[in-house]
Amino acid sequence: MNTNNIYVDLLKSTSNTKITFLSDVKTDIKIDKRGKFNYFYIPFSEARGIAEFISKLDNNFYTVIPFLSVNGRNDDPHLILSRQILITRDSSAKVIHDYLNLN
């Protein structure tokens, strides 16, 4: 199996049948964590909002830090709900929604 096929398989399997955490990535894989933070407000972690967010991603890996905020503003105090979740545009909105609503 060539490297390109492995990459495509990883994109398609990340957070697709179960949540993939950033900490699940093998240490021999180098990750550049210097990227800019972006915020995407999804009220009450609704499934449709999660699906819309995922549909806007390009063909890369992304980390998501889900948090609660009283007013939905990134500068307000907030509570982090989970470790960093690794997602792609092929991730399952249902798997992510179920995880956030059950934990």
Q: Supply the range of the domain harboring residue 97.
A: 3-27+37-102
What average pLDDT score do residues 56-76 get?
A: 85
Torsion of CA 12, 13, 17, 23, to 10 degrees: -130
- Domain for residue 32, yes or no? no
Determine, yes or no, domain membership for 23: yes
Residue 72: band (very low, low, confident or very high) from pLDDT cuts 50, 70, 90 = confident
pTM of the model: 0.81
Q: What mean pLDDT comes out for the span 59-66?
A: 88
The answer to whether the beta carbons of residues 91 and 47 sit under 8 Å apart is no
- CB-based contacts of 49, cutoff 8 Å, min separation 6: 42, 43
Contacts of 40 (CB under 8 A, 6+ apart): 53
Question: How many structural domains are present in the chain?
Answer: 1
Q: Is residue 45 part of a domain?
A: yes
Question: How does pLDDT run across 4-36, given as a tens digit for each residue?
Answer: 777 788 888 999 999 999 888 877 667 777 778
Please compute, for residue 72, the number of CA atoms within 13 A of its CA located in the half-sphere on the CB side. Answer: 6
